[in-house]
Chain A
Amino acid sequence: MNMTTPIKPARLRGDRVTMAHGGGGKAMRDLIEEIFTDVFLPPGSEDQARLTSDALREPGAQLAFTTDSFVVSPPEFPGGDIGKIAVCGTVNDLAVGGAKPLWLSAAFIIEEGCEFALLRRIVASMQAEADKAGVRIVTGDTKVVERGSADKVFVTTAGVGVIPARRDMRAENIRPGDVALVNGVLGDHGATILAARGDMALTTDIQSDCQSLNALIEAVLQAAPNTRAARDATRGGVASALNEMADAAGVQIEIDETTLPLRPEVKGVCEVLGLDPLYLANEGILVLFVPADEAGAALAAMKSVDAGRNATAIGRATSGVAGRVTMSTLFGGQRLVDTLVGEQLPRIC
C-alpha cells in the first residue's frame, strides 16, 4: 500500500482514457497498474484477495457484507470527491450495522475521454480515506465505456467487516423512550452538490460532510453499550432514515424542529430553491438511537471525536403510531415528516 512514485517507469501515453484502455491488452494493464494497483495494492498482489482476521475467529462473530454504487456529478466538489464518498459510504454502511469494516473492493466504470489526472486524484483520495478509516482496498476492476455512456467515472465499492459477538444494531431494537441523536449538522453534502453542479448558479462556502463514521460508532458503543441502532442519513436525508427506522421498530419518532442542527448557508440554499433540509443528502451523518439513560454518555462520546463535534439530540421514539415520524415545529405545532416522494425538485412557488 504505497502512495509514492510507481516503481516502474511511466508507460501510460497521452492524458486521457481511450477505448484501448478497456481492450484487455497492454494499454489496459498499464492503466490498471499505473493508476490503481500501484496505489491500492502491495507489489506482487494476486487478482483475488485472500483475507484473514482474528476478529473472525471469535465465537459468535458474524461477517457483514455490503455493496454500493456511486454516481456523483460533479465527481469532485468542495469537501470531497466520488472516491472519498465511495469509501466512506461503504465503510458507513458496515459501521451503522455494528460491523468493524476491514476490506473493500473498488470497481470503476470509466468514460472514454476521462482524464488520467482526475482518476489519479480520485484514487489518492480513496486510499487516504481508507487509511483514515482503517480499511484496505484489496481487489478491484475497471471497465471503459464510450463517451456519453457514463459521466466521467462511476465507482462501485463492496465492503466486508466483522460484527463482534453479542452486538445487535438492527433498527427493530428501538424502543419507546429511546433518544435520537445525530452527529453533526444536516444537509451539508446535498447543499454542496446542488451548488457545485452549477445549474442554479449559487456560490457558497459549504463543504460536503463526507466522512467515515466507524471510529465514532465504536466510541459511542464504548460509552453507551446498549445503543439500539444507527442509520446513515444519505439519500433522502434524515427524514428518510427516521421513517425507515420508525417502520422497522414499529414506533413513532418525534423530532423537535428547534433542535435540528443546520448551517445558515444550508438554510439559505433551501430557502432559495424551496427545499426541505430534512430531505437533503448527507454523506457523513448518522441517526443513532440510545436508551434515555445512556443518551448523555453517547452524546459526550460523539463530541469527543471529530466527526461528532456538532452532535445533538433531535428527538425520541414513542409508543404513538407505529411507523410514523412527526416534528414539533418552531411554534409548537405538530406536523408529519413523510418519506420523500421521488426527487426533491427546486421550486419557485
Chain B
Amino acid sequence: MSGSIDVRGLSRTFHTTVRRPGFTGALRSLVNPERVAKQAVCDISFDVAPGELLALLGPNGAGKSTTIKVLTGILTPTSGTARVAGVVPYEERERNARNIGAVFGQRTQLWWDLPVRESFAILRDIYEVPKAEHAARLKEFDDLLDLSSFWDTRVRHLSLGQRVRSDLAAALLHDPQVVFLDEPTIGMDVVVKEQVREFLRHQVEQRGRTVLLTTHDMTEVERLAERVVLINHGRLVLDGSLDEIRRRFGSTWQVRATLADAHTEVQPLPGIEVLRHEGARVVFGPASCEGADAPTVHQALKAVIERYEVTDIAIDEADLEDVMRAAYVHAEAA
C-alpha cells in the first residue's frame, strides 16, 4: 500500500564477541573469543497507515534504531517481514531508497566541505529529481525552515540546528512517501525544535507523508504523534494512542478542591478516593484499585463539582514524561 509500513514478527539478532575483563581476560578473549548472540529486536509487529505519524518510543538500547535500520533496508532481519510502501526494504534497497527519506540524529548526510546547496544539488541528481520540481520543493522547505539564510555556507561551519534543518530538507527533497527520523531534534534549542516540529506537522498534514519518529523528547511526542509504539528489550510493550497510554500509565492526577462548607462530610466517589482532607481543603486522586479503568482527570473534575459545592478547584496532572517513565518502569517489571 502506498506510504504504509507493515511489520510482522520482526526479529534481529547480533553476534558479538565478549571482552573479558583484565589482562588475562583480554588474552583469553584473543586466543579463545567467546561469541554471544544478542537479540536487539524480538518478534515485533505493528503497522503505520499512510499519512500517519507514529512515535516509536523506548529507553536507550530498546531496539528502536535497529527497527528503523531494518525498515530503511540497511539491516536484514533474522526473521519476520517488513514492507515499506509495498517494498521489502532489505530485498530491494534501491527501489526502497526512492520511497523513503531518513535522518539519523546528528549524523549528517551532507558533504562536509561543500555549501549546503551543493549537497542538495548532488542529491537532486542522484534521485533524478527534475530541476523545476527541485526548485519548487526547495522554496517550500526554505519557507518553513529558513534555509536560505545559511545554504551558501559550507556544512562544516553550520550550527547543529542549521545542520539538522538542512538534513531534514535533504532527506525530503526527492518527495519520499515515508520518512524515518531517529532522534532528529537531539541537542537542539527550543526555537529550532519548534521550527522542526512545525515542518514535520506540515509534511504529515499537508503532504500526507508517513513518518516514523524515535525520540526521547516527550514534548515532541505530545505535539506530533497520534499514536505511540513502545518497545523495551527488543519487545513491543504497547501500541496505542496517547490517550490510551495516559489512561494506562498516567493516572497520577490530583484534584484539589476547597469546599464551601468545611464541615461537609467527604465520601469517595466512583473510581476516585480522598487522598487528604484538611478542613475545607480536600485532595482527590484515582482509586488505586481501578488501574486502567480509573476516570480521567476531566471526569473526576466533573464528578467533584457535581457532588460538592466548591469555592476553588485545581488539577495537577502527570505530564507525558511522567507517564512514559511509569510505562518504562512497568515494561521493565514485566
A is bound by B = no
Interface residues of B (CB under 8 A from A): none
Q: Which residues of A contact B (CB under 8 A)?
A: none
